[in-house]
Structures are given as C-alpha cells and as structure tokens.
C-alpha cells in the first residue's frame, strides 16, 4: 500500500495499539487475566448507578436527545456550564464556560494539544514536549504528527521502606530552552501511580511561565473526579495551565468524553479543531455527566464509592505481591493514585518485553516498561528502563491472585536461569 508520511507514521506498530489490542482480545477470552489495559474496575455500585441513571434519562427523553442531535464544537453547553460552576464552587477558581472544551476522549485531547504546541513552526523551528518525569503515559508517545516530539530525563529514585520506591523530578537535569513548546505531566501518573507534590507542580508552573510556555496537567485519575488519588495534595489551575480530565475512570470509558480546562484562546483553538475533525464531540457522555452534577452525585460517588474501592484494592494487591515475591530486588512504586502498580525487578536478566511474552503465553497480560520512557534517547543504556512493568489492580480478587502467582513464578525462573 502506497501511503503518505502521515499514513506511514500512524499505521505502524505502537505500544498503545498493542495495549488496546491485548485489552480487546482479553475481553473476548474468559480465561485471560487482564492486568495490562487501563479499563476501570467494574464497581458494582457504579454499574447499578449508571444503569439506573440511563433508564431515568431514557424515560425523561434526555438520552434520546443527546443521541439524536449535534452539539456545538465546544461540546454540550449544559455540561460545560455545570462543570464551570462545579470547579468554581469547589476550588474557587475564576473560570466560566468559556474556559472549558470537550473532546472525544483524552487521547484526542492530547493529539490536539501536543500538535498545537509542538512540532514545526512557520519560521522553520521545531518545538518539543517536555515530560519532566519519566516514565510517563504510553499513549503520549505516538500522537505527534512529526517525529522527535518529546524530551524527558531520568528521575530521582527514592527508596522507601517496605520494598517500595518513589520517583521525583530531578529539577537539576531539566533543560528548558527555546526548543521546548510545552510541559506535560500526569497527576496521578500513569503508569507508576506517582503523585507530583504541590511544590513540584508549583515549580513546574514557575518554569512554564518563565519560558512563556503552557503547563499541561493530565488529571484523568485526579480530583475532584474520579478522585483516584490517595495523597493530600491541592488541585492546580491558572490561566497558563491546561488541565485535562475525562469521564473514563468514573467507569464510563465507552462514552469517550475528554475535558480540557484552559484559557479562552486555547479553548477556542480546540473547539475549531473539533469542528474540522469531528464536527462536534459526542453528547452522550456529557449528558450523563451533567445529570450526575445536577443530582449532586458526581463528587459524592467519587469520594464515597470510587476512591475507597481503589484504595482497598491497591492495599490488598501490594500486600499480596510482596508476599508472593520475597526477593529483595523486587520493589513497588509507592501507590499514590491511578489504577496501576509499577513493579521494579532490579537486575532482571531478561527485558520486560521478554517477560511480557512469557506471561502472555500463560494467559497473563501486563505491559512492558520499555514503552513508558517516552522522550529518552534510544541509545540511553539505563538498565532501569528494562526492569519495570505496569499492571493494573482492578480485576477480581481470584484472578488477581492467579495472575500474581504466575508473575512470581516467571520472575523467579528468570532470576534463577541467569
């Protein structure tokens, strides 16, 4: 097939397509243990809530209305207005509906934002995206229209008791020059569950404003919803910050609703992109989200159902992993949020890509860590990149126990056969 450079780039194999392919295959295979994908947990209370809410909206006609009409390119007005009021009341932020735009999922949002602020300029210069803390989200890696879009640096690694560790930004290594067009960080971080501290976020904001570039914060798992965050930190936004959220981790990934909070100029630009590429964002997710806000359920369910569910699950899974893998070379990144655990097998004699293949052969799907070090030079010989894997902890307890047992067996074999 003779295709354009666009076609060559976006039809090649990538980590995110492998992950989503595994997710789809696993969903069709009842015996697969799905510890790889980012599908949120099937929380019984939330499933019942969404079922009842959908029935209510079908009865009052709002669901049919959402399915049978276009919204504007900025997204459903009622939801945007409700969100602006919610953020204003919750945090005291000076925002209005003109500061919010919707997209067809967060992946679309980052495609827009990264290509808006990075890539080739009219003057021939080329701007990049600075990821201040690697590893970072696998889905960022391939959304750039051009190559060489990212730059990242080694984190500092703090060893913590209980065979845990934590990544911290090494600010002494950050090199922000005229080649950087935007700074981006997820909080909580996918894949590690790391939460950037208030001081780290504040300093990134200072750096961004100093260099007259925006700071993007990926808030897919953060506050105020779905609130899968276990640290006491303050939400952050100002006119130079672009805050990205979604409805996916509430338990609604299928409605594909991304949310961007930014200054009015950025919002207008994204709305124009929506109009050209999508006509308008989907209205079903925003209709559901608006109803949840009107009923005062969005924050309540996030605080009282979603966060406690994940906190209990992660504590149980960490304990089980530590018991199953007693090797002193094994550590877990401190779980501070999100729906994943980041496992570090120091001095692992095989790559985590090989470990991924061995586990997949036994019906356990994880994600090899190599994919997450976006923006590091390929010639970087840092062994740590090949010693970590991401696993989610959302499957039922029996499947989790089986999966952990198999992981422990394969890791032990790898160490013993070295």
The answer, yes or no, to whether residue 379 has pLDDT greater than 60, is no
- In this prediction, residue 9 carries a pLDDT of 72
Between the alpha carbon of residue 27 and those of residues 37, 55, 365, 383, the distances in Å are: 10, 25, 11, 33
19 confidence band (pLDDT: 50, 70, 90): low
Q: What is the mean pLDDT of residues 377-404?
A: 90
Q: Which residues pair with 33 in a beta bridge?
A: 364
Query: What does the CA dihedral 325, 327, 331, 332 come to, rounded to 10 degrees?
Result: 10
Q: List pLDDT tens digits, range 53-101.
A: 999 999 999 999 999 999 999 999 999 999 999 999 999 999 999 999 9
* Boundary of a domain, candidates 247, 267, 297: 297
- In this prediction, residue 170 carries a pLDDT of 96
- In this prediction, residue 11 carries a pLDDT of 75
- In this prediction, residue 27 carries a pLDDT of 46
How far apart are the C-alpha atoms of 335 and 192, rounded to whole Å?
7
Q: Which residues pair with 343 in a beta bridge?
A: 332, 389
* Boundary of a domain, candidates 273, 297, 321: 297
Could you tell me if residue 57 is inside a domain? no
Residues 183 and 286 placed together within one structural domain of the fold? yes
- In this prediction, residue 244 carries a pLDDT of 98
Q: Is the dihedral of CA 71, 72, 73, 77 positive or negative?
A: negative
Q: Considering the chain, what percentage of its residues have pLDDT values greater than 90? A: 85
How far apart are the C-alpha atoms of 87 and 191, rounded to whole Å?
26
- In this prediction, residue 246 carries a pLDDT of 97
Between the alpha carbon of residue 89 and those of residues 94, 95, 96, 220, 286, the distances in Å are: 10, 10, 11, 20, 19
Residues 152 and 167 placed together within one structural domain of the fold? yes
The answer, yes or no, to whether residue 354 has pLDDT greater than 90, is yes
Tell me the CATH number at 315: 3.90.1150.10
Q: What share of the chain is helix, strand, coil (3-state, %, to 5)?
A: 45, 15, 40
The answer, yes or no, to whether residue 130 has pLDDT greater than 80, is yes
How far apart are the C-alpha atoms of 349 and 415, rounded to whole Å?
6
- In this prediction, residue 55 carries a pLDDT of 98
Q: Considering the chain, what percentage of its residues have pLDDT values greater than 70? A: 94
The answer, yes or no, to whether residue 203 has pLDDT greater than 90, is yes
Could you tell me if residue 59 is inside a domain? no
Residues 350 and 332 placed together within one structural domain of the fold? yes
Non-local CB neighbours of 188 within 8 Å, separated by 6+ positions: 194, 195, 221, 222, 228, 229, 336, 337, 338
Domain of 11 in residue numbering reads as 5-47+300-416
pTM for this prediction: 0.93
Could you tell me if residue 248 is inside a domain? yes
φ and ψ at residue 254, rounded to 5 degrees: -70, -20
Residues 334 and 270 placed together within one structural domain of the fold? no
CB atoms within 10 A of CB 125: 11
Residues 270 and 224 placed together within one structural domain of the fold? yes
219 confidence band (pLDDT: 50, 70, 90): very high
Query: Which range is least confidently modeled, 172-176, 265-269, 309-313?
Result: 172-176
Query: Which range is least confidently modeled, 12-16, 244-248, 340-344, 378-382?
Result: 12-16
Residues 95 and 144 placed together within one structural domain of the fold? yes
Could you tell me if residue 95 is inside a domain? yes
Residues 78 and 39 placed together within one structural domain of the fold? no
Residues 349 and 245 placed together within one structural domain of the fold? no
Residues 293 and 314 placed together within one structural domain of the fold? no
Query: Which range is least confidently modeled, 5-9, 139-143, 206-210?
Result: 5-9
Could you tell me if residue 171 is inside a domain? yes
Q: Is the dihedral of CA 18, 15, 184, 112 positive or negative?
A: negative
Residues 143 and 250 placed together within one structural domain of the fold? yes
- In this prediction, residue 332 carries a pLDDT of 98
Give the E-state strand segments of 29-114 in sequence order: 33-34, 100-103
Q: What is the mean pLDDT of residues 153-161?
A: 95
Average pLDDT value over all residues in the chain: 93
* Boundary of a domain, candidates 297, 313, 347: 297
Q: Which residues pair with 392 in a beta bridge?
A: 340
Q: How many domains does the chain divide into?
A: 2
Nearest to 80 by CA among 107, 62, 103: 103
How far apart are the C-alpha atoms of 108 and 37, rounded to whole Å?
18
How far apart are the C-alpha atoms of 392 and 35, rounded to whole Å?
5
Residues 94 and 157 placed together within one structural domain of the fold? yes
φ and ψ at residue 157, rounded to 5 degrees: -115, 115
SS3 state of residue 330:
strand
- In this prediction, residue 23 carries a pLDDT of 52
Q: Is the dihedral of CA 397, 358, 142, 255 positive or negative?
A: negative
Give the E-state strand segments of 105-225 in sequence order: 119-120, 126-131, 150-152, 156-160, 164-168, 180-186, 215-218
Residues 142 and 249 placed together within one structural domain of the fold? yes
SS3 state of residue 184:
strand
φ and ψ at residue 338, rounded to 5 degrees: 65, -170
């Amino acid at each position: 097939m003779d295709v354009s450079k666009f076609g060559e780039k976006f039809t090649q194999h990538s980590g995110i397509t492998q992950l989503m392919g595994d997710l789809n295959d696993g969903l069709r295979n009842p015996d697969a243990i799905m510890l790889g994908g980012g599908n949120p947990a099937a929380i019984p209370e939330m499933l019942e809530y969404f079922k009842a809410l959908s029935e209510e909206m079908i009865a009052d006609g709002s669901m049919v209305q959402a399915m049978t009409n276009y919204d504007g390119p900025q997204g459903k007005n009622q939801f945007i207005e409700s969100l602006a009021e919610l953020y204003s009341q919750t945090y005291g932020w000076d925002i209005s509906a003109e500061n919010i735009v919707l997209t067809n999922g967060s992946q679309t949002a980052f495609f827009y934002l990264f290509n808006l602020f990075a890539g080739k300029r009219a003057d021939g210069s080329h701007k990049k995206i600075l990821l201040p803390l690697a590893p970072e989200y696998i889905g960022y890696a391939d959304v750039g229209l051009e190559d060489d879009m990212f730059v990242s640096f080694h984190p500092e690694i703090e060893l913590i008791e209980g065979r845990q560790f934590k990544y911290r930004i090494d600010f002494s290594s950050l090199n922000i020059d005229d080649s950087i067009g935007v700074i981006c960080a997820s909080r909580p971080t996918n894949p590690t569950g790391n939460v950037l501290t208030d001081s780290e976020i504040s300093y990134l904001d200072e750096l961004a404003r100093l260099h007259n570039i925006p700071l993007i914060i990926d808030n897919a798992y953060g506050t105020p919803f779905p609130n899968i965050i276990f640290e006491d930190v303050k939400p952050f936004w100002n006119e130079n910050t672009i805050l990205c959220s979604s409805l996916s981790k509430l338990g609604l990934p299928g409605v594909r609703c991304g949310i961007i909070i930014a200054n009015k100029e950025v919002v207008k630009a994204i709305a124009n992109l929506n109009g050209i590429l999508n006509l308008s964002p989907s209205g079903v997710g925003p209709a559901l989200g608006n109803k949840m806000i009107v009923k005062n359920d969005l924050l309540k369910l996030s605080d009282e159902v979603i966060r406690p569910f994940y906190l209990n699950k992660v504590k149980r899974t960490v304990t089980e992993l530590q018991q199953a893998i007693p090797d002193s070379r094994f550590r877990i990144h401190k779980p501070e949020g999100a729906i994943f655990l980041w496992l570090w097998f120091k001095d692992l004699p095989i790559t985590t890509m090989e470990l991924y293949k061995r586990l997949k052969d036994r019906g356990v799907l994880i994600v090899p860590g190599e994919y997450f070090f976006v923006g590091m030079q390929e010639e970087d010989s840092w062994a740590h990149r090949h010693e970590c894997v991401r696993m989610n902890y959302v499957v039922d307890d029996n499947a989790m126990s089986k999966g952990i047992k198999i992981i422990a067996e394969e890791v032990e074999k790898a160490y013993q056969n070295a």
